[in-house]
Amino acid sequence: MSENVIQVLVIDDDEDDFILLQKHLGEVVGQKFSLHWAPSYDKGKEALHRHKEEKRYDVCFVDYRLGIRTGIDLLKEVISEDINVPIILLTGYGQRDVDMEAMKVGAADYLVKDQISHFLLEKTIRYAIYRFKNQVQLKEREAQIFMQDRLASIGLLASSLAHEIGTPLGVIRGRAEYISNHSENDPVVLKSMNVIVAQIDRISKLIHSLLNLARGDQIKSVGELHLDRVISDVLDLMGHELKKNDIEIMNEVVEGLTLKTTGGSESLHQVLLNLVVNSLHAIQSAVKQGRAGSHFIHFYVERKKDFLVLCVEDSGTGISKQNLRNLFKPFFTTKDIGSGTGLGLATSYRIVESWGGSIAVESEENVGTVFKVLLPVSNLAK
């Protein structure tokens, strides 16, 4: 076994049993163990919830008798809440029905306390961890296959939508251009028609991006774009919603900052629009949770070695550590049904990645989030 220390959580209301496990594992040669004790059902549940966020333990022992509740009850809760750790059930006496129930619910193994030795403990832990890792890898492969199937279906849907929506969009765009060409003396109408044309073009770009995401197409190289102008355009588009929600905009991106990209201004528009919309939703959620008052979205630029970093910071609800791990996976969303598809950040990440960059996230729950779009310094226009 590895020389790395194996972290073991023991949920048992009898301290003598904890000490006995500690003694046995201390006799194992070639492997070190660090034991952590939770002396009750509730304390054990708290420890497992912390593990869900921070991945603290490699294996967990749970006593069958925990006051008025049982280790089986706790095991069922762990499984239902998707807390991933192999759990070995302990009991003071051997009962086949308890053994079978533990296996049925999802225990990694079942041990009788008075039959335990350091050899049996070491072997049980090793096998439990090994089987658990194999199960996790199998689930990941199954999830990957399922994701590929979904993306293939989305690709077919996007292809169909591109055809079915393209014709009416073209008609609307043509009529808007016609009105625009005959409204030179009315700047209000002219501006409105230009917005309609721009938004129709954006819909077309979004469908195209969806096709790219599903098919894995490479985005072709184009020219330069002005970062400050892209931000300004996004803020103009979102201005009404931001003002309605009393969100202060702080934009510290210097005028004239120009980038060479492989996606064009439309792609960067899409990336920043997704980030601003997410920030808006996060702030709206914070207000609903009682954090009323001053809220903001802050744009600024940092330098990090070989990257120019465009930062979009908000004062919203923040993102949990668990959700941070899944943030850029296609179809992952924490929003209500109808409020998000789970494709926005996945698409944004792929766009930035195609430029040779990436998107990093720093977040603190109930404080806010910073999305950092990392672009290679070589992309800076001279």
Domain ranges of the chain: 6-116, 143-217, 219-379
The CATH class for the domain spanning 6-116 reads alpha beta
Q: Could you read off the pLDDT tens digit of each residue along the chain, which spans 382 residues?
A: 445 889 999 999 889 989 999 999 999 888 999 999 999 999 998 998 888 878 889 999 999 888 888 888 888 888 888 788 888 888 877 667 777 777 777 788 888 888 888 899 899 898 888 888 888 777 777 766 666 566 566 666 666 666 677 788 888 888 888 888 887 788 888 888 888 988 888 777 666 655 655 555 544 445 576 788 888 888 887 888 888 999 999 998 887 777 765 555 567 777 888 899 889 999 999 999 888 888 999 999 988 877 888 999 999 999 888 788 778 776 656 655 444 445 678 878 888 887 788 899 999 988 999 999 988 876 555 4
CA distance 371 to 302: 12
Strands of the chain, DSSP E: 6-11, 33-38, 59-63, 65-66, 69-70, 87-91, 109-112, 224-226, 247-251, 258-260, 295-304, 307-314, 358-364, 368-376
pTM for the model? 0.49
Examine domains 6-116 and 219-379 and report if their fold is the same: no
> CATH number of the domain at 219-379, please?
3.30.565.10
